[in-house]
Chain A
Amino acid sequence: MNALYLAFAYLRYHWARSLVLTLVAALILLVPIATQILLSTSERALVARGDATPLLLGSRGSQLDLTMSALYFSDERPEPVAMREVEAIWDSGLAVPIPLHSAFSTAGHRIVGTTLDYFDFRDLTVSDGRGLSILGDAVIGAEVAQTLGKGVGDTLVSSPENLFDLDGVYPLEMPIVGVLAPTNSPDDGAVFVDIKTAWVIQGIGHGHEDVVTAAEVAAGSASVSNAAVVQYQRITDDNIDSFHFHGSQDDFPTTAVVVVPNDARASTILKGRYLDGENPSQLIAPAGVIQGLVDRIFRIKSLLDVVTTIIAVAALAAIGLAVFLSYRLRAREIATAVKLGARRGMVLRLLSAETITLLSLSAAIAAIGAAIVSQNAESWVGWLLALGA
């Protein structure tokens, strides 16, 4: 009791040095624990997103690019796949295909053109406003709303994907009709539109101020000129009826297709259909791709662990040196205590009490830090993953 009282009084008197030692020790304890928590949370988040997406259909090429663009809406650009692939899966009756068109962005956020089935599949709910209803509508993720400070009633304008692709892509102003509830997933950072709206941005679908029939042209009662026909960059009540799509929908592009098979048998049959290396499309299980990525990350993590251990040992040695030097500096003080009648055991108890108090305070701070990290790990990891996209 006396030793603890004297140790605490000593630490309080030398508060600056005690504070530095406590914080350094707390950091040495906290950093590996926090890293472990964040890594295991990100592993769970990454694997969970992959596990929640049974199959992914896309053009043959990098499986990682396809997975990252379809699951995390990243900047990777896999070759588009034609909508006839989606219809083929519908016709098979083996699975529900959900197309994802993520070629465009707005204000730094990916525009994801899809069907309403995606919202049911990912269990996304609207927290403000309504869901997609009309061509041109946009529903934004919670993070988009927060970052851009936009909400229902505001508008977003699509950015051309390629600065030089001036011929095909026309910016479209889209009204925000809903904001999604946060999910701590890449969906929070996306702007969702109907896939038909994405095709309008791509120039496949568009509106006209006027149309003329071939018969009118032949009869000379109407002429065809570029100036006579206006292309809209905003879909309004007045012009929506003039919007139409060119060609067969089977030829329209989509970036990737989430495929939700009816059961394990359907999944196996579907996978078998895309085994042929000559097939321009591939059907992959994103969970396997993500697991491969996670394994690679964790191989790097073991290297990080070694580095962290070396740094921790060095820091502990530095603390030990500091304590040793402080004891050397206090040699006269200790000698005075001995002369006053304190036994060696008493001096040793006093010094131990100081060290234990310091370490206890450090451990308490590290524990509080770890609890805070643990509590917010999901949202921080979600934010980090979305940032990486």
Chain B
Amino acid sequence: MPVLKHLLAVWLFLFATAGATAQEQPRVVAVNHPLQYFAERLLGDDADVVFPVPAGVDPSFWRPAIADISMIQSADLILLNGAGFATWVDRVSLPRSKLVNTTAAIEDQFIVTESITHSHGDGGEHSHEGLASYTWLDPALAIAQAEAVAVAITARDLASAEDVDARLAALRRDLEALDAETAGALAGVANIAIITTHPRYEYLARRYGLSVTALEWEAGATPDEAGLAALRAIIEDKGAQVLIWEAQPSAAAFDMTGALGLRNVVFPPLAHGVDGSSYIEAFADAVSALAGAGSE
């Protein structure tokens, strides 16, 4: 008789498990890691969150394959960053009813960058306005984006409104704490001229009053002679002391820039996640490294 009971229990367990797995989870696709992190925090186990860009590929310029597009089209919610991030979105067909631009409410806070001028046909010369895209490097803007994600999740009934509200409150607290810690840590760096290897840090600089000049180096690449010449020119002009790399370069690259009197810092722009760290942890680590370099 006890054997029968055990068999019944096992059968019931298997039945319940099969039922649970047969029910397909809603899927949310995010175009960058911060949005993936916000969605994961806000959804908990209520949905699968996918960031489809392979490691090592810049999410801004990713070109999805047909299979990727098909997967994204079938998602329940597609989280866009806006601000000109992920231009591939303009060149693929996505269901408008599932798209959410997480920066739609903060467009007045966008930073306009250099415009691109060209001409074609009989239209004459014209310009395209560029926008700084890495909005999540300003935690205040990141909070606005997280709120937009929460509204989209609730509107599509992907999780209960009470759960989402509670999770958003916790996420907002964490981001506000990150903002406060960053403001404190970078207070001493505000007077130091900083060079970045790529224009990624406009929102970070504006939020914390940093003086940043950007180069156009490939992420983690060892600079060539022209790159070093441009770097020397900026050092001379701005008196820069700190160089921010978006990815870890070779030791030789560190040596080259170190020889010019610069303190090297790796500050990942977090469009991709950092292994073993959440968005907030990686952000805090990068801020510590920058604060450390500034105080040396």
Contact = CB atoms under 8 A, between A and B. Distances in A.
A6 to B, nearest CB: 74
Contacts of A302: none
Interface string A191-210: 00010100000010010101
Interface string A202-223: 0100101011111101000000
Interface residues of B, number: 29
A229 B118 contact: yes
A241 B96 CA distance: 21
B193 interface: no
Given A93-B155, A133-B69, A116 B117 contact: no
A96 to B, nearest CB: 5
Interface in B22-63: 61, 63
A162 to B, nearest CB: 16
B114 A213 contact: yes
A213 B119 contact: no
B118 A116 contact: no
B117 A217 contact: yes
Interface in A70-93: 90, 93
B122 interface: yes
A132 B69 CA distance: 10
Contacts of B209: none
Contacts of B73: 116, 131, 133
A215 B276 CA distance: 41
Interface stretch (A35-43, A242-250, A331-339): A242-250
B121 A231 contact: yes
A349 interface: no
Interface stretch (B12-20, B85-93, B247-255, B286-294): B85-93
Interface size class of A (residues with CB under 8 A): 35 or more
A240 to B, nearest CB: 6
A226 B119 contact: yes
A133 B93 contact: yes
Contacts of A170: 121
B5 interface: no
B93 A132 contact: yes
A372 interface: no
B90 A224 contact: no
B117 A246 contact: no
Given A213-B114, A241-B63, A244-B128, A115 B120 contact: no
Given A133-B69, A134-B69, A206 B120 contact: yes
Interface in A32-77: none
A98 B97 CA distance: 9
A214 B91 contact: no
A263 interface: no
B69 A214 contact: no
A271 B92 CA distance: 33
A240 B114 contact: no
B116 interface: yes
Contacts of A165: none
Interface string B77-88: 000000000010
B96 A208 contact: no
B95 A120 contact: yes
Interface string B174-201: 0000000000000000000000000000
Nearest to B94: A116
Contacts of B87: 244
A154 interface: no
A115 B95 contact: yes
Contacts of B21: none
A142 to B, nearest CB: 20
Given A133-B69, A215-B114, A224-B125, A116 B93 contact: yes
Interface in B91-127: 91-97, 114-122, 125-127
Contacts of B94: 116
B22 to A, nearest CB: 24
Nearest to A249: B90
B96 A117 contact: yes
Query: Which of B61, B116, B122 has the most chain A CB atoms closer than 10 A to its own CB?
Result: B116
A130 B121 contact: no
A133 B70 contact: yes
Given A244-B128, A246-B128, A213 B90 contact: no
The 6 lowest CB-CB distance pairs between A and B, nearest first, are A132-B93, A116-B95, A194-B93, A115-B96, A214-B117, A135-B91
26 contacts: A115-B93, A115-B96, A115-B97, A116-B94, A116-B95, A116-B96, A131-B93, A132-B93, A133-B92, A133-B93, A135-B90, A196-B91, A196-B93, A208-B120, A212-B116, A212-B118, A213-B114, A213-B115, A214-B114, A214-B115, A214-B127, A226-B119, A241-B61, A243-B91, A244-B87, A244-B128
Given A134-B91, A213-B116, A224-B118, 16 more contacts: A116-B94, A117-B95, A131-B73, A133-B92, A135-B90, A137-B93, A194-B93, A196-B90, A211-B118, A213-B114, A213-B115, A214-B116, A214-B117, A229-B119, A240-B91, A246-B128
